[in-house]
Structure 1
Amino acid sequence: MSLKTRNLICLLFLVLNVTALQAADYFRQIPRQAVKTGAGWNGKTQNGKAGSQVTTLPSSSEKSGHVQRANFPSQNRSKVIIILAKAGPGQAKPELDAAREEFQERVETAMKAINELFDKQKAIAIKQGNTHAADLIERQRRRFKEKRVLPSVINTTHFEKEMVVAVTAMQKAYQHEIAECARNGNQAKASLLKTKAHNELSPCVFDGRRKYVRGGGGIFTIQADQSWLEVKNRGKNHVRFTEVARKPDYIELKDNTTDTRLRLYHDRVSLKHGYYPWRHFKNGRWAN
């Protein structure tokens, strides 16, 4: 055999060997599931089908060992979607937690605004040299913080509106959660939520009783120094009272000149003179 023929045979052997190795490398990348299910492979398209599963062989530019799948099985795809929905960073927050965040943001904004009003009014009083007014403003600020009594020296209309909206929305969120617990028979959690709601919302309920109208035309109005002025007979008579008690169901006033006491309830006025017992005096209502 000539040298030229021998070299030609060696070159042909090398070409066949390389082709066989590439084919083996391709077939090693076929998923085991396709082999087990008897997937048929088409040499022209390099695509195999096993039921609903389609597997695509890698192109020559891809690294060995990486398999590119065109489609997932529908069942596995559904599981992946569910897992991502539960564990993803964009997961929706529980209704109560979302309501609490909004509630806290509203309260903080409203409190900041009313404190700025206190500062503004006090600065004006000091600028005018009215130290008495500045002292009254500071006293009402302390009363507002400690006893949650709305002041009369500044306009609190916006503050009251914002607090009512915030508290009402939070109450609805708690009521929905409590009702859900009751439907599920979890009375212990429902009771716990009621207590939690009371503790969380109570500090945000402010006393805004500042004007009272009684039967007969008398009107009681709180003054800047926290005293009360009763105007009656269409403004002809004025009586000044000192506030001596403030309870959830009434405010008690005292006339120091006649030793007369009044209790302003939400629907009536009770009167007490000297050592005599309390008695019904007039019907009435809070006007604010």
Structure 2
Amino acid sequence: MNEMTELERLRSEVPAPAADALAAQEGRFLAALAAEEDRPPAAPRVRRRARPLLAGLPAAAALAAVLAVVAVLGPVVAGRDARLAAYANSAIDIELRGDEYVATIKDPFADHALYSEAFRAMGLDVALDLRPASPTGVGKVFRLGFAGTTERDRIGGALRPEGCAPGRPGCALTVTVSKGFGGKGTLYLGRPAKPGELYQNNADAARKGEALEGYVPDGRTVAEVLAETRRRGLEVTFQIIRPAPDGDGFSMNPREQSAKVGGHWVVWAAEPYRQGAVRLLVSEERVPKNPVRGG
């Protein structure tokens, strides 16, 4: 039996579809075709482009928005890889100049936290504590708490330019920190005093720039020194000391400070006390050497 004969045999064994089944199938096909022809054409699909975030804003407003984002993100991005080269807030400016950071204090009466904020932004663990000082103590370091990690770690404070007069234009309190500083430091620095504030530095009231400039009170009587202070319009407060018998040093008893000081008492030193006032270190007895100065 060949292949064609076998195919004819199989076809004869398949029953033919009924006539009514064929008519029903044909009716369904024609109905579906008519429905497709009556359907309105579909609207063409349009792919929309994403609208830019700043579209519709005026150019100046868009630029301001971009700069605001940069201002917020910039220090964060830079801080991941390297220290900033500059930072500023309302109290202080810090910038890297050569091999050191130079901090210029814009507001010497600001909250100390603002100084720390600026140093921290530069990657420096430095705290700044400004204390009221007499004229010659402004810009001088009262005390330095410092722990460096290398011999090259340095920190200090001064007036710039050197020798300038505090309060004059161009004269600024500054702090310097070595580049690459990896230690920790707290700097106590003299600042101009507000009216009525007590000075917290030690100085000689007779030195140039201070209240008794050009007058040496050491070894004079209280009466003599009071005559000079009145002439200069200065107020006076006393600190009573007890000199060592040989004049090498002295002690001070707080309970003796209310004793009445006589005109014959001896003045061993005069110190700036506050604006318009000096403090006289005095004793009733005279000793061979100045117990304060050591000579």
Query: TM-score if structure 2 supplies the norm length?
Result: 0.27
* Structure with the higher fraction of residues in strand conformation: 2
* Structure with the higher fraction of residues in helix conformation: 1
Structure having the higher Rg: 2
Larger RCO (CA under 8 A, 6+ residues apart): 2
Query: TM-score if structure 1 supplies the norm length?
Result: 0.27
